[in-house]
Each structure stands twice: as C-alpha cells, then as structure tokens.
Chains A and B, each alone.
Chain A
C-alpha cells in the first residue's frame, strides 16, 4: 500500500506516494534524493537527521512519512540563498569553526535555525539545552555554541 502525500519542501510543492512504514528521513534521502539530511542512529538519539517541520525541529528518522501531508518542511538544502550562498546560520558556523567532520552539522544547523526563531537572544546555557538532542563527537560543542551566538548577534546587527 502506498499513501499519497502533498507537502512543501524548501518552498517547493511536492506530491509523492509513500509506504506507511517509511519515515520522513527515508522520504527525503531515498525518494527525493536530498542527502544533506543525515542518518546517524535511526532511533531519535543523535539528531543528525533533524529537519524543521512547520517551524519545529524534529528527528526525521522518527517522523512517519505519511504524516508529512500538508506540512512545510525545511531541510539543510533549503537554507542556502541565491547562487548557493550560505545562510546566516550556516555562515556563522563557517566563521566560528562550528563544523569538523560535518556529519552532525546539517542537524545542528537545523536545530539552531528553529531555536533562534523562537529565542533570538539566547544565553549559552539555553543553547546547550536546545542542542542536547544533537550529538557531536568532534567539536566538544564550544565552537557550535559560539556559532549560534554569532548568528544571533548578526540577526540583531548584520555587521557583527
């Protein structure tokens, strides 16, 4: 059995059929070929697969694909601006060295995007709380926290 779903992916309308046992992560990576979203554990523990659904950061590996119907989905591929330029949060990660091996990075960035929309002037501790569902084995998180602070500062003052 396959279920038709219509949703908006990175600003573009999508109409596909999905098997009921598939996840949003499968839909993005396998059906849509959008491999920027990573699979780290498939059990909702590591956050590498984080995408933003209707403004909320979710683990796409736990999100049933049929339930995507009628939503707006934002993934790492949807962040970049015209001509592939990096968005503010991505640029802040670049400038603050917030990525090493990079495997957790798309999920980290998507969590940061949803978090900053809710909390544009966070404390470091609030950022660390927001990141507890996103594991990173390389960075020790310090420069990721700095990157998110930098993005927050730049959203208030683009010259920062």
Chain B
C-alpha cells in the first residue's frame, strides 16, 4: 500500500471539536429516564469471614429501590481464572471487596443507604507480600479454585517461562557478570474520567450496557455469562462505548461494579448507573502490579552479551485479571531486546490479600525494561565499557529471529540508539551550585507493534458503508480512549479508499453494529484498524471500478454535455474504459492516465447514485473485512512464538541534575527516538509520545500506591502525585526513524505503549552517571537517592 495523500500529514483529530466544546458524552454525562444510581459497600477488612449483613436500615432510606448482597442474588463469577464474584457471599479477601450494593433515585440517597448497611466480620489471617504468601503455613487467599477444587498454595496456576541455550555454560564462559534485583510499585492508571457504566434491561431480558471498556466484545461474552447466571438464557448483552476519559488498561477486564449494576438493573427493572468517585477509583479499581525482578546478565571481554537470566515474582492481589499475564509480554523484552544467545525467563504470580491488580499501559514491558536496562548499565560499568557502545554492539538488526521466535521484518533500534547518543553528547550549561551534579543516561526498548497475541484470535473486523453522497461510515469495534485511533483510522480509510478525510465518519463503538475486535490494547488499535480498512477498501474499489465499466461512459457524456467538448478528450477512449483503467482519489473517479481532467472525473456520490437507481442490477456499496495478523499464540511453557506481526523499537536519553544535599532529581532534558514504522499522523503520534513519557517520569520518580496491611493509604490526588505541567518543565525532543514495515498499514507499527517503557531506567542510569549511585527500587524518591549516597560514602 503506497498510495497516501493524507497519511503522514498533520490533521486535527476528528473527536477534538466535541471534546473542546464540552459536547463529548462520557459515562458521567449520560442519564436516561427513570435511571437509578448504584453504589457499592466495600469490605472493611483485608481478609475476613462475613458473619452477618443487615440491610434493613439501608432499605428504609427514602429513595432506595434495592439493596442487594451476595446472599440475596445469584452468583456471578468472573475474572481470567474465574476466581472473583460480583458480590462476596461469605468471605472477603481484600479491602475493596464488594459486599453489598444499593440502587436509589439519587446519588445522595444511595450514599446514605450504603453507609447504613451493617456488616459483621470475623477477621482471618492475611498475607501481604509474595514472600509471606509463599511461606510455609501461610494463610490461603483462595482455599479452592473456581470449580471448587482445593488449593494448597498461593501460587497462581499460570506459568510463563523460557529457556534458550545453556545458562550455566554461558555463565562460565562470561568475562563479566552482573546480577541485581529491581522492584516496581503498584501504581494507579489515574484516568481523569473515573470508571462507570449504565445497565438497562428490556422487558424481554436483553441487556444494554454503556461501559467504559477497551474490550466491548469480550465484555459482551462476560455479560452474557452473567445473564445466564441470572437465569436469562438465550438473551443478549449489547455493549455501547461512550466517550472515554482515559483508560490505560483499566478497560481490559470486566469489573465487579459492572456486574453489580447489572444485578441492580435486573432486580429493579430500571436503568442503573454506577460511577466511581475519585476515592473509589484509587482504592477500589485495580492498579498496575507490584513486582520484583531478578536479572543476571553476562558479556564477553568485548562487551558482547553472553546470557540473560530473568526471574519475576509478581504480587497479584486477591483476584486474577488479564493483567496477571504481564509475564507473557515481559518475555518479548526479556528474550529479544538486544541479541542474546542464551536466555532463561521464569515467572511466579502470587495471590495476596492486597488489592488485585490489572493491566496498565505497557503491560509488563515498563517493568521488565526497568530491570534489564538498569542491569545492562551495571554490566557496562563492570566491563569498563561505555553503556551506549555496549548497546550498539548488541543491537538487534532487521531480519533477526530472536530466541523467542520473534521476527524483526523492520528494526531501527541501532539508528534510534545512535540518534539518542548523538543528542546526549551535545553539552549543556554547567550546574548551578556545588551540591548539584549532572549526568546522562539512556535505555532502549522493544514493544509489540503488530498486535500481541495472548488470546485465540487477535483479529479485527471493519465495515465500510458508502452512502448516496459519497460519505463513508466506518463501523469499527476498537475503542477511542484518547490515543487517537479515530484520527489514524480516518486518514487510513481516506487513503485506502480514495476519499477526503472529511467524508469519513466513524460510528460509535457498539457490539450491535460493529464487527468483532479483540480489544484495544497492546498498541494494536491503529495497526489492526488500518489493515482491516485496507482490506475492505480494496474490495470496495474493485466493486466500484467494475460498476464504473458499466456506467462511466454515460456519466462522461453528461459531463461533456454540461462542460462542452474539448480536443484533449480524445486522449482517452472513455467509451472503452475497463475497470483496470480507473482510480479513485479524493472522492473522484477518474482514469489513471488523465486523473485531473474535469471531463473524465465523476464525483463518487454521483457514481453511487447511478448504481443505486440503475434500472438494471441496482446496488448499494457496503463491504466488510476481518484482519487476523500473521502471528502465533505462543506456547507459554516454552515461551516461544511470534506473537506480533511487527515490533516497535526505540531509545530514550535523559540528562538529570542530582542535588546531593536533598537527593532531588531534576530532569533537564529528554530525547526519545522511536521506530514505529511509518508515521500516520505526526500530531497525534507526538501526543502519544509526550503522554507516555510523562507517565514514565511519574513511574520513575514519584508514583506509588501506598498500602499498609492491604489498605490503600493515598486514595486521592492530594497524596498520590500525578505529574503536573510544572513538574514536566523540561524540553522533550522527539524523533522518528521511519521504517516502512511490510505488515503495517501504510508501513505503520503500533505506537501507544512504547513511550513509557525506557523512561525509568534511562533516568536511573543518568543518576548513576551523575553521582555514582544505583537505585534499584522505583520510584526513585529523594530519600532513596540520599540513602544510596550515604551508603556509598560510608563504603
């Protein structure tokens, strides 16, 4: 696909005007006739038996229409391992467990009633770290699995490992070896728009649910299972996606609050909306996993990597979401960032009585990149090598087949590393004051860029519908959540079909009208949507050109009648035009050999009307396509399989100033160079990069969900710091090495997640370069820097 007029150009996003006018409808803004407000009563214990629930006081609050508990409603089981239920019946396993819920005519009545529910608990012993949870005799978070089979350990039955080569032999043959353990905290996605849904039943028992989700079709499956649990067999759930106020992975699973809204709507026969307030969002929505990652790497006397050994232990919390499968994605970087001949990877995921965790942007990659890229810098130091030279020496190349079986059909990691190195070499002004020291550091990355197959289909459908006026309505099942999917899809449809972007309209995502899509995650949205769009547009063009064979001559005659004769007209025998002679460009059909000649040009709408109202074989034009990328569902026991059609690469470099008196780290500048294939829309791509870097800086320096024995201590923006504009007051240089990926639509690869993967290790490496201390525990707070400095000076 080389035809591109709008791909690569800077265009305003199609969803921007509504958002700027305050006209975009988020779940918070949607209300329907007769709607009730739902509210949930959460657990007061990390682990306890529920002895008694008394709802009588709550029921007497004016406006209350229903109070439900696990005892009074059918059990709705959900989650990746189906280890969670919507309302807990006899036991709570985390502070945020849902024990009861209320529906009322006003949010105030619902809030009052939920407080009046009386719950008596009998506390149970609890575990709050993977070490505690795996210790001999530890309390079991789940005594049975979803099917009632007894469990003997807190280890999850999810394995993900890899072995290539002989680690012992490679270790023995290495000249330098460095081992380190690197930790990452739980952090909150902190979407500006909190979570919520609106559930409504038809009298026949079909459900319509407006949900803040990234997986409308997998959610439909989950909600249909819930309907069956309610005894509503042969019924359907329709999932509609409203404007989304940020998602960052929070929409990758269905949630208890959604099933509770369904239960309340079913019970009351009225629409029920549940929207989390900010405190609930922080304390009752699953954050990113906490993990501890041990990395050991070795190299030979020239700095060539000899082996890499990675061991992950992940605190899952009390229940299991898709996010538990982070190790599946960690494998990509663990096995395949830089050329490594021998690799071992192992992971353990452990139940605890902490809040259960879920997906967040990057899905394991920021975690594992933090560990590996920190450790690589340590290895370079041990070998007395320039860390940039070591990375360049080991860089992946196009055509490589990695130990995991990943195929790099396009790869510009070397160019990215080089460009960052060049940028970092430019000197800046000397630091102000004696206690401030400057340093630079960098880190590289690999990220899936052509889907990420962790489900049996990684496909995506699309419908392109042409109307009588030459407009294109696009039905696509992926989700616009701020990342710019609709912007990318608009220009790709325009170019793939040959119309102006202004004529492309993207429908609201709705399982009733859009074809199946696995979900918007793994940086896959634009890649999948674009490939599907190209397939459908190709079919449409073929049909249009076949139609033109039939009606073109008459339409040209009409042009001539209107405009008048010309000598140039004989340059092309329009009466004998065949399908292969035509092109469609910017909404006009014309012969390829005379594309700009007014006599020969037929406006698309006119052509479509000619087909629609034809006496013989009238037709309208709608085409669908389903794109399934050429990838493999890896064998997780072996950690082998080409899970993505293409891979993004990049590197980031930072210059920091460390204040040795206060431990404060100030970023002076940051450079990010990325290979995400071809750039679709530079404006939205830059937005993804800047935003990802901002999240990376927060991950590196200050974000952390603080807990004490399972209770979240900082459930608000007052105590959980999200970077403000002033915190990010340093220049960010963005550059793109535009490889033309053979699998990507118009050569593009996915870009959504890669910006935050290398930010934290680049910063840690810069701190080491400045003051010679290594912090291996995120976030790198001033206290940790000071502690490391004092430990170094004591030595």
**Contact surface of A with B, Cβ cutoff 8 Å:** 34-43, 45-46, 48, 75-77, 79-80, 84, 86, 90, 93-97, 99-106, 109, 124-125, 127-129, 131-145
Asked if A37 contacts B22 (CB within 8 A), the reply is yes
Which 9 A-B residue pairs are closest in the complex by CB-CB distance? A36-B22, A101-B482, A102-B19, A103-B245, A140-B690, A140-B694, A76-B22, A45-B717, A100-B482
Q: List 27 A-B contacts (CB under 8 A).
A: A40-B193, A43-B278, A46-B192, A75-B22, A97-B686, A99-B19, A99-B20, A100-B687, A101-B19, A102-B20, A102-B482, A106-B20, A106-B22, A127-B725, A128-B729, A133-B724, A135-B717, A135-B724, A137-B192, A137-B248, A137-B691, A139-B691, A140-B690, A140-B723, A141-B728, A143-B687, A143-B690
Instruction: State A96–B687 Cα separation when bound (angstroms).
Output: 10
Instruction: State A34–B689 Cα separation when bound (angstroms).
Output: 33
Contact of A100 among B25, B278, B691, B693 (CB under 8 A): B691
Q: Helix, strand, loop or mixed for chain B's interface?
A: loop
Q: CB-nearest residue of chain B relative to A95?
A: B12
**7 additional contacts (CB under 8 A) given A43-B717, A93-B20, A97-B12:** A36-B21, A43-B278, A102-B243, A109-B20, A133-B724, A138-B482, A143-B687
B718 on the A face (CB < 8 A): yes
Asked if B482 contacts A142 (CB within 8 A), the reply is no
Q: Which B residues are CB-close (under 8 A) to A131?
A: 724-726
Q: Which B residues are CB-close (under 8 A) to A124?
A: 729
Asked if B690 contacts A142 (CB within 8 A), the reply is yes
Q: Which B residues are CB-close (under 8 A) to A46?
A: 192, 278, 717
Asked if B21 contacts A48 (CB within 8 A), the reply is no
Q: CB-nearest residue of chain B relative to A97?
A: B683
Asked if B691 contacts A138 (CB within 8 A), the reply is yes
Q: Which B residues are CB-close (under 8 A) to A106?
A: 20, 22
B334 on the A face (CB < 8 A): no
Q: Which A residues are CB-close (under 8 A) to B278?
A: 40-43, 46
What's the least CB distance linking B534 to chain A, in Å? 25
B732 on the A face (CB < 8 A): yes
Asked if A39 contacts B21 (CB within 8 A), the reply is no
Asked if A94 contacts B16 (CB within 8 A), the reply is yes
Give B115-147 as 1s and 0s: 1 = Cβ < 8 Å from A's Cβ atoms.
Answer: 000000000000000000000000000000000
Q: CB-nearest residue of chain B relative to A75?
A: B22
B15 on the A face (CB < 8 A): yes
Instruction: State A132–B28 Cα separation when bound (angstroms).
Output: 24
Asked if A42 contacts B20 (CB within 8 A), the reply is no
Asked if B17 contacts A86 (CB within 8 A), the reply is yes
Instruction: State A142–B730 Cα separation when bound (angstroms).
Output: 10
Instruction: State A55–B718 Cα separation when bound (angstroms).
Output: 26
Q: Which B residues are CB-close (under 8 A) to A41?
A: 278, 716-717
B23 on the A face (CB < 8 A): yes
Q: Which A residues are CB-close (under 8 A) to B13?
A: 97, 99
Instruction: State A124–B574 Cα separation when bound (angstroms).
Output: 59
Contact of A138 among B29, B687, B726 (CB under 8 A): B687
Give B501-535 as 1s and 0s: 1 = Cβ < 8 Å from A's Cβ atoms.
Answer: 00000000000000000000000000000000000
What's the least CB distance linking A108 to chain B, in Å? 10
Asked if B683 contacts A40 (CB within 8 A), the reply is no
What's the least CB distance linking B650 to chain A, in Å? 16
Q: Which A residues are CB-close (under 8 A) to B29?
A: 35
Q: Which B residues are CB-close (under 8 A) to A109?
A: 20
B178 on the A face (CB < 8 A): no
Known A41-B717, A128-B726, A143-B686; contact A99-B193, beta-carbon cutoff 8 A: no
What's the least CB distance linking A36 to chain B, in Å? 2
Most chain B CB within a 10 A radius of its CB, from A38, A45, A132, A137? A137
Contact of A43 among B26, B686, B693, B716 (CB under 8 A): B716
Q: Which A residues are CB-close (under 8 A) to B22?
A: 34-37, 75-77, 106
Instruction: State A104–B22 Cα separation when bound (angstroms).
Output: 10
Most chain A CB within a 10 A radius of its CB, from B193, B277, B683? B193
B684 on the A face (CB < 8 A): yes
Asked if A42 contacts B26 (CB within 8 A), the reply is no
Q: Which B residues are CB-close (under 8 A) to A129?
A: 725-726
Asked if A141 contacts B694 (CB within 8 A), the reply is yes
Q: Which A residues are CB-close (under 8 A) to B683?
A: 96-97, 143
Q: Which A residues are CB-close (under 8 A) to B277?
A: 42
What's the least CB distance linking B672 to chain A, in Å? 11
Q: CB-nearest residue of chain A relative to B22?
A: A36
Most chain B CB within a 10 A radius of its CB, from A45, A46, A93, A138? A138
What's the least CB distance linking A61 to chain B, in Å? 10
Q: CB-nearest residue of chain A relative to B282?
A: A41
B24 on the A face (CB < 8 A): yes
Instruction: State A124–B194 Cα separation when bound (angstroms).
Output: 30
B403 on the A face (CB < 8 A): no
Q: Which A residues are CB-close (under 8 A) to B262?
A: none
Asked if B193 contacts A38 (CB within 8 A), the reply is yes
Instruction: State A40–B21 Cα separation when bound (angstroms).
Output: 17
Asked if B192 contacts A48 (CB within 8 A), the reply is yes
Q: Which A residues are CB-close (under 8 A) to B686?
A: 97, 142-143
What's the least CB distance linking A66 to chain B, in Å? 17
Give B727-745 as 1s and 0s: 1 = Cβ < 8 Å from A's Cβ atoms.
Answer: 0110010000000000000
Q: Which B residues are CB-close (under 8 A) to A139?
A: 687, 690-691, 694
Instruction: State A136–B691 Cα separation when bound (angstroms).
Output: 9
B265 on the A face (CB < 8 A): no
What's the least CB distance linking A55 to chain B, in Å? 20
Q: CB-nearest residue of chain A relative to B722?
A: A135
Instruction: State A101–B687 Cα separation when bound (angstroms).
Output: 11
Asked if B21 contacts A90 (CB within 8 A), the reply is yes
Q: Which A residues are CB-close (under 8 A) to B24?
A: 102
Asked if B192 contacts A125 (CB within 8 A), the reply is no
B481 on the A face (CB < 8 A): yes
Q: Which A residues are CB-close (under 8 A) to B190?
A: 137
Q: Which A residues are CB-close (under 8 A) to B452?
A: none
